[in-house]
Amino acid sequence: MNIQRSSRRVGVALASALLATIGLVSTASAGTPKGVELAASDTGGVTLSAAPSHRLRGVSGYEGAGAPSDVTAYGAQRVPSGHRITGYSSPTGDDLGVQSIIGADNRVRVNPTTSFPASATVLITRTVSGVERLHCTGWMFGASLVLTAGHCVYNQSTGWYTGQLKFYPGANGTTYPYGSCTAATLRSNTGWTTDGNPDADYGGASLNCSIGNTTGWYGAYWTTASLNGTSTTIQGYPGDKAQQQWTHTDQVRESGSLRLYYDNDTVGGNSGSSVHTVRASGSTGCAGHCSLAFHAYGVGSNGHNSGPRITESRFNLVIGWR
């Protein structure tokens, strides 16, 4: 999904204290339902610096083993022939049909989707009243972990999407080479679920399968340096393309301490996509397809699309989730 909102409540008084706290909050003490885990907020920001490249920290991705002959060997479910997913439906209801194509539409279809990183790019659907619809995009970050935008797992009005989501790695129209999985645990942080802060709009899902062992998974890195000029690719499932995977490459236009801004073309359905760059083999910290941010928002007042940046605390948190 791809949304734009003018402002959110931010827990400013607690931000600096919470920044250092990245452990998971007990589901009992947090009052959250079974199958949900919350991290503390980390919306205090960091000071950007002209840090040298050796200050970059991260992990490289894994390119996987290709489409398996039997997805059930990884705990995934086969998708029967003729399975129907209907058109895109906004999780929040406030961005249906809103597009964030900046200038000419330069998106390119990814076909086939059985090579990395297409295989590790995940179509997320949501079923309500028996109707399954395109919901968001996610990206594998481990054998059983999908990362995405916070609003793809938690709605500010209705709460957690427990029991409603399904995950299809490498979906290609009506073809599902890696089957489907469901969420064992939905994950986010209080900066999103409590404060509704766009800078903290990230989350994920621990799946009931280990399909990442064959799809592969993205790498990720953090740095306090400006990322302006860094190439950015967003690959995912825009709501106007019938469950097809599409991609577009641009660059970081503005670097905030907690958010990155870029001009990649996106529409509703792209929310949760990895905002990634490609680094040469052997690169320090992360080589290959390395995520920089979680795509979450359409064009704002500065004329760019944007998403929460991967910071040190966020990197440590999502590594812990897997």
Give catalytic status of residue 151 as yes or no: yes
Beta-carbon contacts of residue 122 (< 8 Å; ≥ 6 apart): 137, 138, 139, 140, 146, 148, 167, 168, 169, 170, 171
- Whether 113 shows a pLDDT value over 90: the answer reads yes
Summarize pLDDT for 6-50 with one digit per residue, the tens.
Answer: 333 333 323 322 322 233 333 333 456 789 999 998 887 767 765
Percent of the chain with pLDDT over 70: 85
For residue 209, name the pLDDT band (cuts at 50, 70, 90): very high
Predicted local confidence at residue 30, as pLDDT: 42
Give catalytic status of residue 69 as yes or no: no
> How far does CA 262 lie from the centroid of its chain?
16
Question: Cα dihedral angle (7, 9, 13, 17), rounded to 10 degrees?
Answer: -90
Residue 31: how many CA atoms within 13 Å on its side-chain side? 4
Catalytic residue among 89, 271, 273, 306: 271
Predicted local confidence at residue 148, as pLDDT: 97
Catalytic residue among 151, 248, 289, 295: 151
